[in-house]
Amino acid sequence: MRIFRSTLYSFFLHSSFVMILLSQDLRYIEYDTDLGSPSMFKARRDSVMAKIGSSAIAVFYSNWERIRNADVEYQFRQDDNFYYLTGFTEPESILLLAPNGVIVRNPEDTSKTMSVKEVLFVRARDPLREQWNGRRYGPEGAMKLRGLEYAATVDRFRQVFQSAMFGSGARIVFVPPFPSDFTGEMAELLQPIRSMIDASKSRHSQTELRDPSPLVYTMRIVKSAEEIVLLTKATQISATAHNQAMMSCQPGMYEYELQAVYEYVYRKMGSEYPGYPCIVGAGENSIVLHYNSNRRQIKEGDIVLADCAAEYHGYSSDVTRTYPANGKFSSAQKKIYQIVLDAQNASIAMMKPGAVWRDVQAKANEVIEDGLFKVGLIKEKGKQEHRRFFIHGLGHPVGLNVHDVGGPILQPGMAYTVEPGIYVGENAAGVDPMYHNIGVRIEDVVLVTPEGNKILSADAPREMAEIEAMMAKKGIGNQPLK
């Protein structure tokens, strides 16, 4: 049972229960042993400071908790750029970078001061709140476990920010756009930023504001070795989930039952979140690109398009598999599926350092146009008629965001999805009805390597014979619940 917190919090605040909590050991515990190293995050912060120069400071802020309804919050997920620079996963936190240094109190002797270049402002330790909502890092934990040079409680942000502004001679302040929906404590904490933004609109302001996001986005395009490990883990989890879903699928199930298989495997293998809402579309829903209500019953003869992937330690995969509900592709399904697979294989073959992403996309369009012409779904080539059925781009970068930042020229360390698709609705004019309600998308995460590329999601089969062989096995999703 979820306990109504606001009433009981007031009660416990005035009881001896607080004294019991205060006497407990309030160490912050990190249970995961494969988090990004503090040195990696430190190198990123140093890189940002080198880019902005000694006449500037930069401020980054975390996401904040949002109410879903009444006393229930949405599951918290950290801001991408904030996480990239800190590895810190708590809300109500602010990072200040001051290349020229800012004066703060020495934590070992508060009567003395010291100059530091980075300060992370975090929530204070609170025994009672930690009893309800889990342990916090606090300033000491942020420094010891996340490797920050200096950390302080968030109530000190205003003072230190003003010191950085006026004491370091900063004329340029890098700060992300102020979110319009900032409310509550986080909005109050960042009031100095809001005031500075308002003042900067005056022609007499001597402070220049810039958005630091493009600087960080540029850094995020090429993944480090540590990032590739985490992205590979997220993708392996996703591939395993697809295999279990294929083995579990059978007519009579509901789309949400397959969704449950995916999400069970994510959690079973250590994923903290889905990378995005799970898409499981059967029959007429297979042609809906971002379908995610997942309530329809799967029927004999349906094709099932499942676009589902896990996130692991901040890094999201993105994998799609399409398979026949009864374990055997029909003749029409085979024809459409093979065109999509051919387009994907031809595109992936082009992915290597120096390749132009636009050319990779053009190859997929060429193969799909040719394939649709051969089976008679389009009557002419060269007139973009195939775009009636291939209605989206070929893919996108992945990383801290499922639709991450990338560049037009492929480099080693870039990770892209390759996801051609063909979607034939039941109202498609001039199309043989045997193709109606067949939606096929095949999506894999492809890492560009110095030698060429590597398909990170290769453990989930793509060839039709391999999919049918996989579906002949039994998975975890169709066992009866007792």
Sequence letter at residue 467: I
The question of whether 313 is a catalytic residue gets the answer no
Cα 329 to Cα 120, 335, 388, 391: the distances in Å are 55, 9, 23, 23
The question of whether 423 is a catalytic residue gets the answer yes
Q: Which of 292, 290, 382, 303 is nearest to 335 (CA)?
A: 303
The question of whether 396 is a catalytic residue gets the answer yes
| Tokens standing for residue 183 | 């409310």
Q: Which of 278, 279, 273, 277 is nearest to 311 (CA)?
A: 273
Bridge-partner residues for 121, per DSSP? Answer: 94, 152
Instruction: Check 61, 396, 444, 462 and give the catalytic one.
Output: 396
The question of whether 392 is a catalytic residue gets the answer yes
C-beta neighbour count of 47 within 10 angstroms:
15
CB 173 within 8 A of CB 52: no
Instruction: Check 311, 443, 444, 462 and give the catalytic one.
Output: 443
Whole-angstrom Cα distance, residue 291 to residue 310?
17
Whole-angstrom Cα distance, residue 284 to residue 335?
18
Instruction: Check 255, 263, 404, 419 and give the catalytic one.
Output: 419
Instruction: Check 136, 321, 386, 441 and give the catalytic one.
Output: 441
Contacts of 298 (CB under 8 A, 6+ apart): 249, 250, 251, 252, 253, 254, 255, 258, 282, 283, 304, 325
Instruction: Check 307, 369, 404, 444 and give the catalytic one.
Output: 307
| Tokens standing for residue 22 | 């205060």
Instruction: Check 392, 432, 463, 466 and give the catalytic one.
Output: 392
Contacts of 372 (CB under 8 A, 6+ apart): 339, 378, 385, 386, 389, 422
Instruction: Check 318, 369, 404, 444 and give the catalytic one.
Output: 318
Instruction: Check 71, 359, 380, 432 and give the catalytic one.
Output: 71
Sequence letter at residue 192: P
The question of whether 290 is a catalytic residue gets the answer yes
The β-bridge relationship of strands 421-424 and 438-441 is antiparallel
Cα 448 → chain centroid:
19
Contacts of 433 (CB under 8 A, 6+ apart): 426
Sequence letter at residue 162: Q
| Tokens standing for residue 386 | 């195939």
Whole-angstrom Cα distance, residue 339 to residue 466?
17
Instruction: Check 370, 403, 436, 468 and give the catalytic one.
Output: 403
Instruction: Check 14, 31, 290, 451 and give the catalytic one.
Output: 290
Q: Which residues are catalytic?
A: 71, 290, 307, 318, 392, 396, 403, 419, 423, 441, 443
